[in-house]
Structure 1
Amino acid sequence: MRHFLPAFSIPTLFAYVMLACIWCTSSVQAQEIPKAAHQYRNDLTRIARSVWGLDAPVPVFAAQIHQESGWNPGAVSKVGALGMTQFMPATAKWWCSLNSISAADCQPRNPIWSMRSLVGYDYWLYQRVYGDTEFDRLWAMKRSYNGGLGHWQKEASLVWPARDHDTIDAACGLASRARIHCAENLGYPDRILNSFQYRYSAWGRTVGQP
């Protein structure tokens, strides 16, 4: 059987193809977001905006939760990190003490506590790192969340006054951090900022590398 295409003009046909591509891309991205994530979208948006302002990069935080636990509140890592945002018990205790949160309310397994603490701790780190661009600074923030602010600060001091993340990353393992940990520490912000955040682009402002 022969099949005939409608007599579209080239521009019209191109437009239909582009719309189909956009639809396919959106559909694939939506499928790549865990089903569990959707129930937390409004809460995460509200929490992020309350700390970072109305222009908060919500997809960045969503991507980090995606990386940490796949949105699983009951997640427990091999080293004992807990909940959706994988706070170590000692870090959770320190964070609660810093913010005058009672022991009874210090609940790493609670999704709302997890989101509030991730967004708040990220902001606390963001104020203590630097970068030439917002992307560089978020990159440093994520490295510090994953591997410790002190390690990042020591490595950044070795290449000062350079402020771009590539130059600072090149110093990983040259201060107090063992080089064996660098692959994971550098891969952490890469997965979040260069991959996962774009799955959540419908949730708010993304931050790309200039």
Structure 2
Amino acid sequence: MSAVITQRLVDLSRALENAGHGQRTALCQAAAQELGLSQATIYRKLEEVKVAATPRKRRKDAGQSALSREEALLISTTLIESARRNEKRLATFAAQVHQESAWRSNARSPVGAEGLAQFMPATADWMAEIYPRSLGPAQPYNPGWALRAMVAFDRWLYERNQAVSECDRWAFVLAGYNGGNGWVNRDRRLASAMGADPLAWFDSVERHNAGRSAANFRENRHYPRAILLRWEPMYAAAGWGAGVCAARYSRHEDPDAVSARHVDQQFACRLLPELAGCRRAVRIAATPRSPGPVVASGARGQTTTHAALVAAPAQA
């Protein structure tokens, strides 16, 4: 399908969700006539582009962490330093890690994304090349390296995206982190051509698909909303500081995307009490681990101790 047909079908899908009784057939007939397709084809293609707000299943290990205390201290130190150098967006960075890997430093996705920040190997190598002094060799499974690289990549994208608000700007950044900044630019151009504001992400550029598959489109549009409007409020409420979209979710503009009643609001506190400011002691590790410093194995035969990572500069 062409980008124009895809966009028309996405708009039709949204219109059908809000249509009253007896109006859906007329909308489909009008679209079929406009696109020169049969009504049966319209119905079939709608299934390909439909973006449904399905409820997310709760993980069996929700509210738990597989981190040792040493790993938690390393992550907290690295995040605090990175946030200090990037206008204290701690809740936003924490929300991104939550979405990417649920704080599992050994996470690996089915497509090969690795570590806390879920870098593909090629992206990890590229980040190591453009930030050799602050990052060094690619070590996506090393928590300290992964966090510094994530913040550096976010900053790289931030400098290349303008928007009507800080919240929208970070939505563009996160869409680029998830699917590539090239697609973000294509979607901007399509949105502008369709009469939408290319500097506004929410309810504007996010509605336009410049040609990616339906599955990739759904994933990419879910990613910024999940981080900024679901997880960021949770971490902000747990004491991690204000997020970049505080003004938006405090007004509850999008109940379907913002609602997080099923989320355990104390997850962040149990995970990293050093950051959440908890009033009581909590157990960080889910399973017993041997004492002593943890060593993270990186790419190209490199190993780095946690003490070295904590002392390393967190430049982005």
Structure number having the greater helix percentage = 1
Return the offset for 1:130: 1.9
1:105 pairs with 117, 137, 155, which one? 137
Alignment-derived partner of residue 183 in structure 2: 151
Decide whether the 8 Å contact of 1:125 with 1:144 is kept in 2: yes
Name which of 19, 24, 49 aligns with 2:84. 49
Distance 1:124 1:49 in 2: 17
Residue type of the partner of 1:168?
V
Q: Tell me which residue corresponds to 1:198.
A: 233
User: Where does the alignment leave 5 or more consecutive residues of structure 2 unmatched?
Assistant: 1-61, 249-316
TM-score of the superposition, structure 2-length normalised?
Answer: 0.51
Q: Tell me the equivalent position of 1:4.
A: none
- The aligned length equals 175
Question: Superposed, which structure 2 residues align to 1:53-202 within 5 Å?
Answer: 53=87, 56-100=88-132, 105-160=137-192, 162=197, 163-165=199-201, 166-172=203-209, 175-201=210-236, 202=239
- Please list every run of at least 4 consecutive aligned residues from structure 1 whose deviation after the TM superposition is greater than 3 angstroms: 31-39, 101-104
Change in CA separation of 1:169 and 1:108 when aligned onto 2, cut-off 3 Å: same
Cα distance, 1:100 vs structure 2: 2.3
Q: Which has the larger radius of gyration?
A: 2
Change (3 A) 1:205 1:102: closer
RMSD of aligned alpha carbons = 2.3
Shift of 1:137: 0.4
The answer to whether the Cα contact below 8 Å between 2:112 and 2:120 also exists between their aligned partners in 1 is yes
Question: Could you list the runs of 5+ residues in structure 1 that have no partner in the other structure?
Answer: 1-30
SS of corresponding position for 2:126: helix
Residue type at the aligned position of 1:128: R
**TM-score of the two chains, using structure 1 as the length reference:** 0.76
Matched residue of 2:204: which SS?
Answer: helix
Match of 2:115, SS state, is coil
Q: Deviations over 1:76-112 (max 9, x none)?
A: 1111111011000000011111112599732011000
